Amino acid sequence: MIRVSMKDISAGAGRIGLITLDRPEKKNALTPEMLDRLIGAVGEVRQASAIVLEGNGAAFCAGFDLTLCRENSDALRVLLTGLSRAIRVLRACEGPVVIAAHGAALAGGCALLGGADYVVTHTEAKIGYPVVRLGVSPAVSAPFLRQSIGDGRTRERMLDSSLISGWDALRMGLAHECIEDAGKVRDRAMVVAEQFTAKPRWGLAATKRWMNEVDGSGDDARAEGGLEASLALVGSPEERERLAALWKN
């Protein structure tokens, strides 16, 4: 459900690590195993000069596979914890991380954008945190989201369950580039990654480390606080009632 490959650029220009969410029949809905594998995949491509994270099929990522929560009451807790770890690992990569967000980046899929240095999307993409409607808090992603769009916009996105377009994501800073054609998002992300590989690798790595220090990306206490805020609602009456209603429908 996660594919990893390396792409060689011209001699001396470095390599691109490509990580693909590969569960297209479920719009790449995340499972605990996928999140564990994603974390491991980042380690496998850590020597790459740049990393591209993409999704196979019609969407980048539709969030968590909530059907697992019907079968296992602890599944949501495991998913939230794995998501927090995955974002942190992506954010800590020495090489720039480019995410190709086509189709949809919902809930946990939207949260993954917080691990990127550069996000490419398209005008008709659907992006956001609809989990608020289910009594599930997206606070786990707030520490990373605010680094991209600031406190005011983060508060808005955390509390508003409506989806935004790729154009709106660009306007508010959640995406860095928005193109017209969904089918070309991956290609454009690869071009951006290739441009990063042409830059001095250790200079970029040193700059990323300092930027992570300045913006708090490496602050585990802050990340843990967001995770705990989400975990606090797991198993609550509101959450169980709303999830049960979802399955009835």
The three-point CA angle 46-129-56 to 5° equals: 45
Task: State the pLDDT confidence band at 10, using cuts at 50, 70 and 90.
Answer: low
Per-residue DSSP letter, 106: E
- pLDDT value, residue 216: 87
Would you say residue 230 has pLDDT above 90?
yes
232 class by beta-carbon count within 10 Å (0-12 exposed, 13-18 middle, 19+ buried): exposed
**Which pLDDT tens digit goes with each residue over 156-185?**
999 998 999 999 999 999 999 999 999 999
Would you say residue 242 has pLDDT above 90?
no
**Which pLDDT tens digit goes with each residue over 54-85?**
999 999 999 999 999 887 879 999 999 999 99
What are 4's strand-pairing partners?
19
Would you say residue 13 has pLDDT above 70?
no
Pairing state between β 15-21 and 2-8: antiparallel
Would you say residue 248 has pLDDT above 80?
no
- pLDDT value, residue 84: 97
The stretch 93-101 carries a mean pLDDT of: 96
- Cα–Cα distance measured from residue 32 to residue 68, given in angstroms and rounded to the nearest whole number: 9
- Cα–Cα distance measured from residue 136 to residue 59, given in angstroms and rounded to the nearest whole number: 22
The closest alpha carbon to 199, from 117, 114, 112, belongs to: 117
Residues 6 or more apart in contact with residue 210 via CB below 8 angstroms: none
Structure tokens at 118: 């550069």
- Cα–Cα distance measured from residue 87 to residue 133, given in angstroms and rounded to the nearest whole number: 23
User: Mean pLDDT for the chain?
Assistant: 93
Q: Which of 80-84, 154-158, 221-225, 235-239 has the lowest mean pLDDT?
A: 235-239
Task: State the pLDDT confidence band at 11, using cuts at 50, 70 and 90.
Answer: low
Q: 102 in helix, strand or coil?
A: coil
Long-range contacts of 7-12 (CB under 8 A, 24+ apart): 7/190, 9/49, 9/194, 9/197, 9/198
**Which pLDDT tens digit goes with each residue over 35-58?**
999 999 999 998 899 999 999 999
Measured in degrees and rounded to the nearest 5, phi and psi for residue 57 equal 95, -150
